[in-house]
Amino acid sequence: IAHEDSAKLNSIAWSIVDPASDIGQRDLDLAMKAATAAAELTDWSDAAVLDTVARVHFWKGDLDKAVELQTKAIELTDNDRFKAQLQEALDEYKKAISGAG
């Protein structure tokens, strides 16, 4: 549907992995496909898209990749408010790693 529109692909993926969402069954494979396509369309340089890809990795249990991508997302944005939101997610991912180890 949105194979050439990174914003729509990101929106589809985020609607699946948004922690505030109350959907029952999360289709993480679909979210990964949409988020990865969005990232490729933006040359992996859009902080919002990377945030989504990181969240998908987090939900799938790949915590190290989530931290890597979230860190890159933080580096890519100059918006302080958005950067703070990204940092909260990064802290969550790091906490999960320390709790899992």
pLDDT tens column, 26-47 = 999 999 999 999 999 999 999 9
Residue 95 to residue 75: CA distance in whole angstroms: 20
Q: Taking 90 as the threshold, does the pLDDT of residue 51 lie above it? A: yes
Distances in whole angstroms, Cα of residue 27 to Cα of each of 60, 64, 95, 98: 10, 21, 24, 26
Task: Please name the amino acid found at residue 80.
Answer: D
18: its two tokens = 């948004």
pTM for this entry? 0.92
